[in-house]
Amino acid sequence: MQKQLVRVLSFLGVGSRKDCSHLIRKGLVTVNGKVILKPLDKIETDGVEIEIDGEAIDYREQYFLMLNKPLGYECSARPKSHPSVLELLPENFVNRGIQPAGRLDVETSGLLLLSDVGGFLHHVTSPRRHLVKTYRLQTSEAITEEAVQRLLAGVKLEDEEELIAAKAVERLSENEIKLLVDLGRYHMVRRMMAAVGAHVEKLHREAIGDLKLPDDLEPGDWRELTQEELDMLGYSEQ
């Protein structure tokens, strides 16, 4: 597929079209080893090799990422009182419009998916998909068997018409459980636990669907999803 070089560089997050045009006219951009001086020249994107001032730029039509979200970050491009998770990504990723698929609050850590593909973001967050999210949490109070049964049967949350029920609950210790849910609501897990009389002290998302957060991905680190992992989420690239 052929595209204007200035559009390609802007799409890749190098900068604005004005910035990219300036780089091209200065002779800093090479395509397949050849210097291109005209921003509107068209290039073949299949298998293209682009360098800017000697630095290789990876051409990708779309990105699918996983991030081990640390505590203290907001899942928003316009954070209010804490840094954005997007600050953990390379600047060119942010420039090309990569966004989180759903949100984890500031005090929640764990698996967060991001992409610049709207269809993928919708796939992960759509309530119709019923993708199960697995959370590991600790509470300040002991979690009773009665509380577990109430979570499985469904609890009433403010502003929700229907009862919200856990798909599964696994007791790990007196005040630690794994909670599986297939809906996404504002602070839902914390509100569910509050409804059974337990205050959440630690909350960590371990998995989305069959996709688990890798043990070797440290807090704040990210990597691309493999095709196998996309398959685990039931997503097919369009």
> Given the structure tokens 């403010």, which residue do they identify?
158
Neighbours of 72 (CB within 10 A): 11
Q: What is 55-66 written as a DSSP string?
A: EEE---S--EEE
Q: Are 148 and 169 in contact (CB under 8 A)?
A: yes
Neighbours of 153 (CB within 10 A): 10
Which is the catalytic residue, given 41, 46, 53, 105?
105
Q: Is the dihedral of CA 231, 104, 68, 238 positive or negative?
A: positive
The one-character DSSP state at 40 is: T
Q: Which of these, 226, 230, 179, lies nearest to 200 by C-alpha position?
A: 179
Residue 105 designated active-site? yes
| Residues with catalytic roles | 105
